[in-house]
Structure 1
């Protein structure tokens, strides 16, 4: 019988971390119970990233996310993670993508005038989009999630960056907190786990 991981009532990224512990412990068949759709989406992303098969069942507001792994996958040759990282950097450099990330935790740049701060944010992303060296990722949390949802001019520049291969990750918990989850116009809904990993993979993180 599959092990049941009870993550009901727990906010992001706790369900993802609980599932990752099962994977790291060698458990190839288990299910995680959660009670919100954001957690379901993040768990499915985790399953996909770890080469697990996932499926979802809903029962009275409780979502059961099943994790399973084909036994044949154990026979795959072990990949060298360090080699993969090097190859990823080489490929990124070919596309003009550098190994740095930008973390946005506010709707504006700096303090003082809010209008000026929003304008500076627009100018910042325009300047980056015109640069030869692009960040590997742009990460939005807290009030920063208002930029890819409400700042129309910044959104246009972010779309250009996304088309050029820059990962744009937006905190789902933060979107829900501000009630703007349906307003996201660029990037993908993410979680603390993925955003933290993006920071770890970057050689440097610039915080605005």
Structure 2
């Protein structure tokens, strides 16, 4: 199978997709991540910074979908500075805590970077 996402780094810099109401942003993010998994697509990495780090923390609406990607071997990397800022460092439930160096390295090694 040809995986068009294999060289792609996906960036979440918001706690969902788009700039809609919170419930819709969360629903769209959950659907997006579920669709990636259902199609068998495996991004190079999924990166979280700014408010996007909320998606990997306790209470996130898409922890199940993110866990499925992580189980498939997709690195999920959340910015430590952002987690600290939001007081979420101890509440990370999926993925790994990284730093901006790691995020920049992943972006630099990706064939393309998609911000959702």
Residue from 89, 93, 107 that aligns with 1:185? 93
Q: CA deviation at 1:112?
A: 2.6
Q: Which moved more, 1:186-195 or 1:145-154?
A: 145-154
In 2, the alpha carbon distance for the partners of 1:143 and 1:135 equals: 21
In 2, the alpha carbon distance for the partners of 1:181 and 1:106 equals: 17
Q: Which residue of structure 2 aligns with residue 108 of structure 1? A: 16
Q: CA deviation at 1:108?
A: 2.0
In 1, the alpha carbon distance for the partners of 2:88 and 2:44 equals: 25
Alignment partner of 1:140 is 2:51 = no
Q: Deviations over 1:25-55 (max 9, x none)?
A: xxxxxxxxxxxxxxxxxxxxxxxxxxxxxxx
The structure with the largest alpha-carbon Rg is 1
Aligned length: 116
Residue 10 of structure 2 aligns to a residue whose secondary structure is strand
Relative to its length, the structure with more strand (as a share) is 1
Tell me the C-alpha RMSD between the 2 structures: 2.0
For normalisation by structure 1, the TM-score amounts to 0.52
Alignment partner of 1:122 is 2:30 = yes
For normalisation by structure 2, the TM-score amounts to 0.91
Residue 108 of structure 1 aligns to a residue whose secondary structure is coil
In 1, the alpha carbon distance for the partners of 2:97 and 2:115 equals: 20
Residue 107 of structure 1 aligns to a residue whose secondary structure is coil
Q: Deviations over 1:98-148 (max 9, x none)?
A: 111100100021113211111111111111111222101000001000001
Q: 1:152 to 1:127 in 2, by over 3 A?
A: same
Q: Is the 8 A contact 1:106 1:143 kept in 2?
A: yes
Gaps of 5+ in 2: none
In 2, the alpha carbon distance for the partners of 1:137 and 1:113 equals: 26
Q: 1:97 to 1:110 in 2, by over 3 A?
A: closer
In 1, the alpha carbon distance for the partners of 2:16 and 2:113 equals: 18
Q: Which residue of structure 2 aligns with residue 154 of structure 1? A: 62
User: Residues 80-119 of structure 1 correspond to what in structure 2 (within 5 A)?
Assistant: 98-119=6-27
